[in-house]
Chains A and B, each alone.
Chain A
Amino acid sequence: MPLLQHLCEMLYRSSFGTMLRESNNAFSVIESVHVLSITLLVGTIAVLDLRILGLILRPVTVSSLARSVLPLSWSGFAVSVTSGFLLFWAEAAKLYANPSFRAKLALLALAGINALVFHTTVFRRAQEWETFQLCPWRARVTAVASLTLWSGVIIAGRAIAYF
Chain B
Amino acid sequence: MSLHGWFIALARSPLGHAMQTSRWGFAVVEMVHLLGLAILGGSVLIVDLRLLGVILKDESAVAIGRGVSRLLIGSLIVMVLSGIALLSEEAGKCYYSPAFRCKMALLAAAVVFYFTLHRQALLRAQSEKPTLWPRIAAAVSLLLWLGVGVAGRAIGLL
Task: Select one of B30, B40, B67, B150 contacting A58, CB under 8 A.
Answer: B67
Among the stretches A60-68, A89-97, A118-126, A134-142, the one at the interface with B is: A60-68
- The segment out of A1-9, A13-21, A101-109, A152-160 that lies at the interface is A152-160
Interface size, chain A (Cβ < 8 Å):
32
A28 to B158, CA, bound (A): 10
Q: Mark A13-41, 1 if CB is under 8 A from B, else 0.
A: 00000000000000010011001101110
Q: Is B46 within 8 A of A39, CB to CB? A: no
CA–CA, A57 to B138, complex, Å?
19
Return the contact of A60 from the options B37, B49, B59 (Cβ within 8 A): B59
Which residues from chain A contact B153 at a C-beta distance below 8 Å? 28, 31-32, 35-36
**Which bracket fits the contact residues of B?**
20 to 34
B92 touches A (CB below 8 Å): no
- The SS class assigned to the A binding surface is helix
B56-A38 in contact (CB<8A): no
Contact of A68 among B30, B34, B55 (CB under 8 A): B55
Would you call A146 an interface residue if the criterion is a C-beta within 8 Å of the partner chain's C-beta atoms?
Answer: no
Query: What's the minimum C-beta distance from B34 to chain A, rounded to whole angstroms?
Result: 5
**Contact assessment for B68 and A56 in the assembled complex, using a CB-CB cutoff below 8 Å:** yes
Cβ contacts under 8 Å, A46 to chain B: 38-39, 42
Q: List 25 A-B contacts (CB under 8 A).
A: A31-B153, A32-B150, A32-B157, A35-B34, A38-B34, A39-B37, A39-B45, A39-B149, A42-B38, A45-B42, A46-B39, A47-B46, A47-B68, A56-B67, A56-B68, A57-B67, A60-B64, A64-B59, A69-B46, A72-B49, A150-B38, A151-B35, A154-B35, A158-B34, A159-B31
Q: Which residues of B contact A (CB under 8 A)?
A: 27, 30-31, 34-35, 37-46, 49, 55-56, 58-60, 63-64, 67-68, 70-71, 146, 149-150, 153, 157
